[in-house]
């Protein structure tokens, strides 16, 4: 199987999502090295950081191909989440599955889409967020809900929130607790 993974968030390792993506990619490629992985990164100024991470992933023994495009994540979000143009396969070539972790959701065509829901606090506590954040997140997640076949949730509570607030069927939700590898 050819699995595409958006690793753009890895350059923001000080954030929970950046660390999550890093550890998930390292674990997946070690656990299932029989698959081919296409690591996609959209980054303008931190290309070197992505390249160093890709070299680390290659130590897993899995077949790794990388595609780094000189687009900042906000530009990709505009192309994908606002205009809904330029399919991921335009960058990656043929893939069977594409996993994104921050709801920057490219058009998928026939590719199976997977994304992660870390929380839906913006829906549970909208008054806690600056103006505009709630509507942007709703729109981004709305597209992800329409196009993805599977959603990874960080916890049972997040899974229940996804059912309650997003009306995603339980059959499309899988809890995978964040982990840490040394």
Q: 């960058």: which residue's tokens?
A: 91
pLDDT of 74 reads 82
What is the domain partition of the chain in residue ranges?
2-175
Q: Are the C-beta atoms of 116 and 151 separated by less than 8 Å? A: yes
- CB of 54 closer than 8 Å to CB of 64: yes
Whole-model pTM: value is 0.92
Q: What is the pLDDT of residue 181?
A: 53
Encode pLDDT of 9-37 as tens digits.
998 877 788 889 999 999 999 999 999 99
Please tell me the distance from the alpha carbon of residue 103 to that of residue 123, in angstroms, as a whole number. Answer: 15
CA torsion 5-10-16-17 (nearest 10°) is -30
For residue range 77-109, what is the model confidence (pLDDT) as tens digits?
889 988 999 999 999 999 999 999 888 889 999
> In whole angstroms, what is the distance from residue 121 CA to residue 129 CA?
9
Fold exhibited by the domain 2-175: Rossmann fold (3.40.50)
Confidence (pLDDT) at 13? 73
């Amino acid at each position: 199987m050819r699995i595409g993974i958006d690793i753009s968030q890895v350059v923001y390792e000080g954030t929970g999502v950046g660390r999550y993506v890093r550890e998930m990619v390292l674990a997946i490629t070690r656990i299932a090295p029989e698959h081919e992985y296409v690591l996609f990164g959209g980054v303008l100024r931190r290309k070197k950081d992505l390249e160093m991470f890709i070299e680390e992933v290659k130590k897993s023994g899995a077949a790794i191909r990388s595609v780094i495009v000189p687009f900042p994540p906000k530009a990709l979000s505009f192309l994908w989440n606002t205009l809904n143009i330029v399919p991921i396969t335009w960058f990656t070539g043929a893939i069977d599955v594409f996993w994104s972790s921050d709801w920057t959701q490219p058009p998928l065509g026939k590719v199976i889409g997977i994304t992660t829901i870390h929380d839906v606090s913006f829906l549970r506590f909208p008054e806690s967020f600056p103006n505009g954040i709630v509507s942007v997140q709703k729109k981004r997640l709305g597209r992800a809900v329409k196009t993805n076949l599977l959603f990874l949730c960080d916890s049972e509570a997040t899974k229940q929130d996804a059912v309650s607030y997003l009306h995603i069927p339980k059959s499309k939700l899988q809890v995978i607790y964040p982990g840490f590898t040394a």
